[in-house]
Structure 1
Amino acid sequence: MSAQTETPAEPKKLGGDLLTVTGLQKHFPIRRGLLQRQVGAVQAVDGLTFSVRQGETLSLVGESGCGKTTTGRLLTRLLEPTDGKIVFEGRDISHLSTGQMRPLRKDIQMIFQDPYSSLNPRHTVGTIVGAPYHLQNVKPQGGVKKAVQDLLALVGLNPEHYNRYPHEFSGGQRQRIGIARTLALRPKLIVADEPVSALDVSIQAQVVNLLEDLQSEFDLTYVMIAHDLSVVRHVSDRVAVMYLGKIMEIADRTALYERPMHPYTVALLSAVPIPDTARRESRERIRLQGDVPSPINPPSGCRFHTRCWKAQEICKTQEPPLAELQPGHQAACHFPENTTEITIDPMGITAAS
Structure 2
Amino acid sequence: MSAEPLLSVTDLSKHFPVTKGLLKRQVGAVKAVDGVSFDVMQGETLGVVGESGCGKTTTGRLITRLLEPSGGTVVFEGQDITHMSQKRLRPLRRDMQMIFQDPYSSLNPRHTVGTIVGAPFHIQGIKTEHGVKRAVQDILALVGLNPEHYNRYPHEFSGGQRQRIGIARTLALKPRLIIADEPVSALDVSIQAQVVNLLADLQEELGLTYVVIAHDLSVVRHISDRVAVMYLGKIVEIGRRKSLYTAPLHPYTNALLSAVPIPDPRGRSERERIRLQGDVPSPLNPPPACRFHTRCWKAQDVCKTVEPVLAERADGHQVACHFPENAPAVPDGVPEPTAG
- What's the TM-score, normalizing by structure 1? 0.93
Give the distance between the partners of 1:14 and 1:160, measured in 2 at CA: 39
| Structure 1 match to 2:91 | 103
Listed one character per residue, the Cα deviations across residues 126-165 of structure 1 (whole Å, up to 9, x for unaligned) are: 0000000000000111000000000000000000010000
Any unmatched runs of 5+ in structure 1? Answer: 1-12, 345-353
Give the distance between the partners of 1:123 and 1:188, measured in 2 at CA: 27
Give the distance between the partners of 2:173 and 2:46, measured in 1 at CA: 22
| Structure 1 match to 2:116 | 128
1:184 matched to 2:172: yes
Moved more, 66-75 or 98-107: 98-107
2:296 to 293, 308, 330: 308
Secondary structure, in 3 states, of the residue corresponding to 1:123? coil
Percent identical pairs in the alignment equals 75
Any unmatched runs of 5+ in structure 2? Answer: 333-340
1:98 CA displacement? 1.8
1:77 to 46, 55, 65: 65
Listed one character per residue, the Cα deviations across residues 210-251 of structure 1 (whole Å, up to 9, x for unaligned) are: 001110111100000001111100000000000000001000
| Structure 1 match to 2:154 | 166
Compared CA separation, residues 191 and 343, structure 1 to 2 (3 A): closer
| Structure 2 match to 1:6 | none
Listed one character per residue, the Cα deviations across residues 281-328 of structure 1 (whole Å, up to 9, x for unaligned) are: 000000000000000000001000000000000000100000013421
1:293 matched to 2:286: no
Over the aligned positions, Cα root-mean-square deviation in angstroms equals 1.2
| Structure 2 match to 1:248 | 236
Listed one character per residue, the Cα deviations across residues 238-294 of structure 1 (whole Å, up to 9, x for unaligned) are: 000000000010001001001100000000000000011111100000000000000
C-alpha contact 1:15 1:55 (8 A) present in aligned 2? no
Amino acid at match of 2:79: R
Amino acid at match of 2:191: I
1:167 CA displacement? 0.1
Listed one character per residue, the Cα deviations across residues 27-71 of structure 1 (whole Å, up to 9, x for unaligned) are: 000111222111100000000011000001001000000000000
| Structure 2 match to 1:238 | 226
1:28 matched to 2:16: yes
1:342 CA displacement? 6.1
1:318 matched to 2:306: yes
1:118 CA displacement? 0.2
Amino acid at match of 1:325: R
Point out 4+ residue stretches in structure 1 off by more than 4 angstroms: none
Paired residues in the alignment total 332
1:143 matched to 2:135: no
- What's the TM-score, normalizing by structure 2? 0.96
Give the distance between the partners of 1:342 and 1:174, measured in 2 at CA: 51
